[in-house]
Amino acid sequence: MEEADPQRPDDEAALDDRDGAQDDTPEAAGERPVDEQPPLPAVPAPGAVGESPAPMHRDAAGDPVPTWLRVGAAIAGRLLVLAAAIAVAVYSLAYLRVVVLPIIVALLVTTVLRPCAKWLTRHRFSDGAAAATTLLVALAVLAGAVTLAGAAIGRQFSDLADSVQDGVREAGNALSGPPFNLSKADINDRIDKAVGQLSDSSGELTGGALEGALLVGEVLTGMIITLLLLFFFLKDGPGLWRWLVETFGGRQRSRMDDLGRRSYAALSGYVRGLVLVGLADATMIGAGLAIIGVPLVGPLMLLTFLAAFVPLIGAFTAGLAAVLIALVSGGIVKALIVFGLVVAVQQVEGHLLYPIIMGRTVHVHPIAVILALAIGGITAGIPGVFVSVPLVTVAATALTFARETREQPAAPA
């Protein structure tokens, strides 16, 4: 049996010693000695190369343009781009008025007729039958009203125009006396020029075979498009809205649906409120004129009702016509009484009817209404004046909705 060599180290002990030595040394652990560690990257001082761009309010070194001018130019450029986009949109809508105007009118009328169609649907009518029945009944009622009142009013409208013109001349004569003492010749000359311009304008509208044919064709086309759109809005309105929301809503489908429903409710309240306010104004004005003894009560009531659909301007025009006719028929005293009646009706409308009827659905400042009427009249004439306030109503509803939901997270898709 061979003896173990005392000089030879044990294999396992030697391996443990070597492993321990490797673990203790930084090189064996993959680390560098402290004196050989790479330097940490230096943090650049403020203003050094590599720093993020300086805020906009700090002037760059050597830049001759002051900060206020750069900021003002940036804001002005964005405002010009926004104004150009709005101008292009408004011009496009005015150019396509044969299509755009029927859409708006059909939508406004739908807000009035939709409850009738829903009532018929609840009573076992199909959607198509309910829409067709509602539309036919509305057309029949309109045709009956026009037939019953149109003949008498049509005969009196020429008298109404002559009476208004005579009233203007009576007002001119009153201005020529004390305490105004204006030149009667100058007043009559200006009145004649104004009447002549109105006559020329009406002649330009109705004169010319080609222009007249184009106008009639445009009106007929708009009426046909309006009736078709009205039928389909009554029949498939909710389905069309769901399709729009699902197609274009994306992740904001719930908010888009909520905004659309609020806008529709605002339009519905606006149109129904205008109808009720117009009926109330026409009734009060007609009763007052009949008691005072002013002629042409029927045309003035109809004018007052139609004027309710054009806020501010319409009420002023209807009241002025009533005052002028009273001036011609009964003199200055009767005209002043009618003027007081018109002011009283307008106060009742502004402080009682509007707050009660429209206070919960429409929140538009009078300044916004005035600007909308001016812009609508400049861009599209009478149709622009008619649709401007509903558009502002929808815009105000959208702004209110955006302010309410600004801090709310978007609902998951």
* pLDDT, tens digit, 9 for 90 and up, residues 32-49: 554 555 555 555 555 444
Q: pLDDT: is 402 or 196 the higher one?
A: 402
Q: pLDDT: is 399 or 52 the higher one?
A: 399
pLDDT at 146 over 60: yes
Rounded Cα gap, residues 326 and 188, in angstroms: 20
Stretch among 9-13, 232-236, 315-319, 364-368 having the lowest mean pLDDT: 9-13
In this prediction, residue 136 has a pLDDT band, given cuts at 50, 70 and 90, of very high
pLDDT at 305 over 60: yes
CB atoms within 10 A of CB 73: 11
Rounded Cα gap, residues 413 and 257, in angstroms: 13
In this prediction, residue 156 has a pLDDT band, given cuts at 50, 70 and 90, of low
If you count DSSP H runs as helices and E runs as strands, how many of each does the chain have, helices first? 11, 0
In this prediction, residue 299 has a pLDDT band, given cuts at 50, 70 and 90, of confident
pLDDT, position 57: 47
Rounded Cα gap, residues 274 and 288, in angstroms: 21
DSSP 248: H
> How many CA atoms within 13 Å lie on the side-chain side of 378?
9
pLDDT, position 21: 47
CA 54 to the chain's CA centroid: 41
In this prediction, residue 133 has a pLDDT band, given cuts at 50, 70 and 90, of very high
> Cβ contacts of residue 410 below 8 Å, gap of 6+?
251, 252, 254, 255
> Cβ contacts of residue 88 below 8 Å, gap of 6+?
none
> φ and ψ at 65, to 5 degrees?
-85, 125
Rounded Cα gap, residues 253 and 245, in angstroms: 6
> φ and ψ at 362, to 5 degrees?
-120, 125
Q: Is the pTM of this model over 0.85?
A: no
Rounded Cα gap, residues 302 and 376, in angstroms: 24
